[in-house]
Amino acid sequence: MDKKTIAVIFGGRSVEHDISIITAHTPIIQSLTASGQFDIWPIYIAKNGSWYSDKIMNDLEFFKRNDFENYLSEQKKIRLLFDDGLKIIWPGFRQKTIAIDIVFPAMHGTFGEDGSLMGLLRMANAPFVGCDIFASAVAMDKTLTKQVLAAENIPIVPFVWFTKYEWEKNKNGLIQKIKKLKWPLFIKPAHLGSSIAITKIKQESELENAIEVAFHYDDKILAEESVENLIEATLPIIGNDELQLGGIERPLNKTGFFDFNDKYLSGNKKSGGVNNQYSEIPANISADLKQQVENLGKQTYRLLGCSGIARVDFLIDGISQKVYVNEVNTLPGSLYCHNWRKMGISGVELVTKLVALAEERFQKQKNITYTFRSDILNQVNGKKITK
């Protein structure tokens, strides 16, 4: 059996650059390797935006070397060719070209998970794993996500959003608006994941500082009511039309809310991945809550037009038993492999299923007509074109 050539793209100009390196390897590259079905080309986008591909990067240990950036700086940067699919090229006297059959994006945050990379891959007419450009772009913006969900009556937590420009022009007006929300509040950058630059504030004196911190990372932020008596829950989902649910997972964080350290640095590093042993799967919640979470999860996935894989996060008020959809993550860290394993799906089964879903979506898109023949050009400079 001929192996499919797959490119795993990771790194990128994002604060979640390093998390992306981990996701790319644990489980993606390791599981693709274990399946024995793929010729894997790792494509690493450095923090400065340069693209490199070298099979030495299939090993996570490479990125633990102190000199890996020096090593790469001596390598040729790759070029991309969009010629009936994606090709990567090492230019030079002995030019080398590899045609890529399928792409597995493993990028978190900006210029990757936000739809940018998906746009590029659509232009290249290359099948790729995970959510498409539209779901990725909406899910990357927390306010836009909430607005889309609210329009379809999916319960969300009340919030106020504004840009840096608006804050500088109308600080007092916005503070008044924020004061009307039910405190305590969360101040969040609209586009960042991994809980970076999120602050919980209990009094007005903390507000401006929290907003300054968030604006340091983003141009658009939101102030959102905090759900007290909070039960957090998250639900990974895979599928295009037919959805398969992971286990409802409840993070067991010790601090007031889940920060970057809780998520990525406090786990059991030995077993790999970015989400280890800080959660309860399946979450010990009532059957009714479970039902609500699963239904809202599926609705949200469909509303945003997700495909391949995504994870929907929920906030549950433990007393009122009200469930809110908080946000959607279109590339869950390490694909939430630990969760899928608990549901009996191994890393290899997960990645091969995601590849199959990507191919299925690509085939469907191929059947859509994007062009049609017209004689409009012949009419230019001749007769008057009327609309």
How many whole angstroms separate alpha carbon 108 and alpha carbon 18?
Answer: 9
The single residue among 133, 345, 359, 362 that binds other proteins, judged by CB under 8 A, is 345
How many whole angstroms separate alpha carbon 310 and alpha carbon 265?
Answer: 22
Paired sense of beta strands 4-11 and 102-105, if any:
parallel
CB-CB contact of 84 with 75 (8 Å): no
Tell me the three state secondary structure of residue 156.
coil
**Nearest CB to other proteins, comparing residues 71 and 111:** 71
Kindly determine how many residues on this chain lie close enough to bind other proteins according to the rule CB under 8 A.
27
**Residue 348 C-beta: closest distance to other proteins, Å:** 5
The backbone torsions φ and ψ at residue 100, rounded to the nearest 5 degrees and listed phi first, read -100, 130
The single residue among 36, 67, 378, 380 that binds other proteins, judged by CB under 8 A, is 36
CA atoms within 13 Å, Cβ hemisphere of 277: 8
**Residue 49 C-beta: closest distance to other proteins, Å:** 20
Measured CA angle at 196 (ends 194, 197), to 5 deg: 155
**Nearest CB to other proteins, comparing residues 33 and 147:** 33
Q: Tell me the β-bridge partners of 97.
A: 89
**Residue 4 C-beta: closest distance to other proteins, Å:** 16
Tokens of 28: 């993606």
Neighbours of 21 (CB within 10 A): 23
How many whole angstroms separate alpha carbon 24 and alpha carbon 364?
Answer: 26
**Nearest CB to other proteins, comparing residues 23 and 300:** 23
**Nearest CB to other proteins, comparing residues 4 and 298:** 4
Stretches 48-56, 111-119, 242-250, 312-320: which one binds other proteins (CB under 8 A)? 48-56
The single residue among 3, 47, 65, 96 that binds other proteins, judged by CB under 8 A, is 96
Of residues 189 through 228, those in contact with other proteins by CB under 8 A are none
**Nearest CB to other proteins, comparing residues 266 and 346:** 346
Stretches 107-115, 138-146, 216-224, 345-353: which one binds other proteins (CB under 8 A)? 345-353
Cis-peptide into 184, omega within 30 deg: yes
DSSP 8-state secondary structure symbol assigned to residue 128: B
CB-CB contact of 190 with 197 (8 Å): no
**Residue 356 C-beta: closest distance to other proteins, Å:** 16
The single residue among 3, 56, 170, 228 that binds other proteins, judged by CB under 8 A, is 56
**Residue 75 C-beta: closest distance to other proteins, Å:** 6
The single residue among 55, 177, 182, 202 that binds other proteins, judged by CB under 8 A, is 55
CB-CB contact of 118 with 365 (8 Å): no
DSSP 8-state secondary structure symbol assigned to residue 29: I
Stretches 23-31, 107-115, 125-133, 353-361: which one binds other proteins (CB under 8 A)? 23-31
Tell me the three state secondary structure of residue 145.
helix
How many whole angstroms separate alpha carbon 351 and alpha carbon 361?
Answer: 15
- 178: Cβ contacts below 8 Å, ≥ 6 apart: 160, 185, 207, 223
The single residue among 348, 359, 360, 362 that binds other proteins, judged by CB under 8 A, is 348
**Nearest CB to other proteins, comparing residues 255 and 271:** 271
**Nearest CB to other proteins, comparing residues 188 and 338:** 338
Burial bucket for residue 122 (CB in 10 Å: 0-12, 13-18, 19+): middle
Of residues 268 through 307, those in contact with other proteins by CB under 8 A are 271-272
The backbone torsions φ and ψ at residue 326, rounded to the nearest 5 degrees and listed phi first, read -95, -55
**Residue 7 C-beta: closest distance to other proteins, Å:** 13
Of residues 57 through 76, those in contact with other proteins by CB under 8 A are 75-76
The single residue among 105, 297, 332, 347 that binds other proteins, judged by CB under 8 A, is 347
Is position 353 an interface residue for other proteins (rule: CB under 8 A)?
A: no
Chain residues that interact with other proteins, rule: CB under 8 A: 27, 30-31, 33-36, 53-56, 75-76, 90, 94, 96, 98, 271-272, 338, 341-342, 344-348
